[in-house]
Amino acid sequence: MTGNATALSVTASIVLVVVLIGFLAGKNKSSRSSVEEWSVGGRRFGTLLVWFLVGADLYTAYTFLALTSQSYTVGSLAFFAIPYSILAYSVAYFFLPKLWKVAKTYQYTTLADYAKGRFDSKLLSSLVAIVGVLMLIPYIDLQLSGIQNTLQIAGSGIVNVKVVVIISFLLVALYTFFSGIKGPTYTAIIKDILIWVVMLFLVVSLPMIHFGSWGSMVDTLTQKAPKMLTIPTSGPKSYAWFITASFVSALALFMWAHAATGVFTSKSADALRKNTILLPVYNIVLILVIFLGIVAKLVLPAGTDAKFALLELVRTSYGGGMQGIVYATIALASLIPCSIMAIGASNLFANNIYRDLINPNVAPKKLTMVTRSMVFVVIGLALVCGLLFPTALVSLQLLGVSGMVQIFPAIVFSLFWRSQTREATISGLVVGLIVTFTVYATNSAHGIYEGFWGLAANFVVVSVLNPFFVRKRQENQVTEFLFGEQEAKTGGTLLEEAM
């Protein structure tokens, strides 16, 4: 297979222009003057910027390539992404504003910061940070995989794909180091606009090109592959997997470090509340993209590698110019989320591992530099892991969802449960992780999403152990803020804003 020089040129031109904009976004030195400025933009982003930013880090190249790949392989099971995201935003509507208020008041920039403040526990904070960093590396790897697959279709035989991938991610590391969160935020606006325009163009034109209309495509599908439109009633992935995968993924969504980073950039709780209402609009694109995987199944030759389904469908359907625009969109949907993820992981390591465990007396200026510099370490690790273990990435990311959901009780329960204790919370988190990895390693999920077993065990342990430690629990300024007089005041404000 040989790439298309025109497509590659268009792709490279668009990506380089956007990367340049990422650098220009940080030309003001204030964007890197402190950890808070660099990682969460001083918490000054309004509703629209937060919408673009959170959309950029949640709807990635992996989202589009993986969903088309999954629908190409197993059909309607891919639709689990729709209920999970809707459920995630519904749950987030109630807890994100409250979490933001605490973070704003005490200048928290990570979920681990909140866990330490809420429970007076560096151990819990470190566990949350370690889980966050370890689970995020495979996710960053998948962004690498997305651009690598894109370049393999566009540039195979023209350029050295691995070298270009490495250069691309180093450029992203540089502009992230230089610009902080402002770089991916402003480039996310371009990326999201491209996604909406390009994906809507694809879902309208591809059925027209290959079938004459959407109706003809659906008719062909019902005749040739009707099982792709149904969810299996038995087997390892059936209704039970669909429901539990949706549930676990929903609770895990805002536990990811990059999602939390996007949340903490908001200038107000109200902006976050509006975003939980507006973000499901992205699902319009997701629903249609899933259908593209089904189109690919009907159009592409048997034996086509599923991970290239969308890319091959584009290659066989359009000329070089249009291919280049599509490939550039997918490449940006890899690179920009990678930047936000690197910020989230770097922030966790620098603040909650380096500062809390290694150098508690670190000066603010040095901590800012350590946080920024960790971007190169995080992206470097992702590059090495991605190039050495490319076949394990999807499995590791799915395991990552199961791992990340285990911090949900520590973060979300504690916003509403005053008597929750650190001992029960730490025990539940550890047990949940052990059960999750044991179920995964022994392949004993019994048709249930692995993380569900771990989360169930987590819930049980926290509920059973908590009464034994309640008497030892002590109030602190965070619990007073959440449940004391301050909460009575802000609670009234929240109710007024919601109405």
Q: Which domains does the chain have, with CATH numbers?
A: 5-29+36-391 (1.20.1730.10)
Query: What beta strand segments (E) does 338-455 contain?
Result: none
pLDDT score recorded for residue 368: 94
One-letter amino acid identity for 339? S
pLDDT score recorded for residue 57: 76
**Beta pairing partners, 266:** 45
How high is the mean pLDDT of the chain? 87
Burial annotation 27-42 (CB, 10 A radius, 16+ → b, else e): eeeebbebbbbbbbbb
Burial class (CB in 10 A: 0-12, 13-18, 19+), 92: buried
- What the block records as the tokens of 329 is 């969109």
Of 345, 59, 23, residue with least CA distance to 171: 23
Residue 235 or residue 83, greater confidence:
83
Q: What is the model's pTM? A: 0.89
Residue 92 or residue 5, greater confidence:
92
Sorted by sequence, the CB contacts under 8 Å of residue 334 that are 6+ apart come out as: 60, 61, 62, 143, 144, 146, 147, 150
Rounded distance between C-alpha atoms, residue 255 and residue 403, angstroms: 10
pLDDT score recorded for residue 492: 44
Alpha helices in 265-363 (DSSP H): 269-278, 282-299, 309-317, 320-349
pLDDT score recorded for residue 499: 33
Please name the residue that has the structure tokens 């502009």: 175
- What the block records as the tokens of 357 is 């465990």
Q: For 266, phi and psi rounded to 5 degrees?
A: -65, 145
Length in residues, the chain: 499
User: At CA 257, angle to CA 428 and CA 168, rounded to 5?
Assistant: 140
Of 54, 58, 79, residue with least CA distance to 289: 79
Look at residue 298 and tell me whether its pLDDT is greater than 90: no
Q: For 25, phi and psi rounded to 5 degrees?
A: -60, -25
pLDDT score recorded for residue 383: 81
pLDDT score recorded for residue 308: 87
- What the block records as the tokens of 208 is 């027209």
Q: Confidence band (pLDDT; 50, 70, 90) for 390? A: low
pLDDT score recorded for residue 438: 94
List, for residues 53-82, the tens digit of each pLDDT value. Answer: 888 778 887 777 888 888 888 888 888 888
Q: Confidence band (pLDDT; 50, 70, 90) for 1? A: low
List, for residues 156-179, the tens digit of each pLDDT value. Answer: 778 888 888 888 888 888 989 999
* Largest CA-CA distance found in the chain, in angstroms, rounded: 70
List, for residues 451-495, the tens digit of each pLDDT value. Answer: 999 999 999 999 999 999 998 888 999 999 999 854 445 444 443
Sign of CA dihedral 111, 113, 117, 120: positive
Determine the 3-state secondary structure of 59 from DSSP: coil
Sign of CA dihedral 439, 445, 450, 453: negative
Residue 92 or residue 217, greater confidence:
92
Average pLDDT of the residues in 190-198: 89
Least confident of 125-129, 369-373, 441-445: 441-445
pLDDT score recorded for residue 31: 80
Residues of the chain with pLDDT > 70, as a percent, come to: 94
CA end-to-end distance (rounded Å), the chain: 58
Residues of the chain with pLDDT > 90, as a percent, come to: 47
pLDDT score recorded for residue 93: 96
Distance, C-alpha 400 to centroid of its chain = 11
Average pLDDT of the residues in 423-451: 94
Phi-psi category of residue 420: left, alpha or beta, with phi > 0 → left and psi -120 to 50 → alpha: beta
Q: Confidence band (pLDDT; 50, 70, 90) for 2? A: low
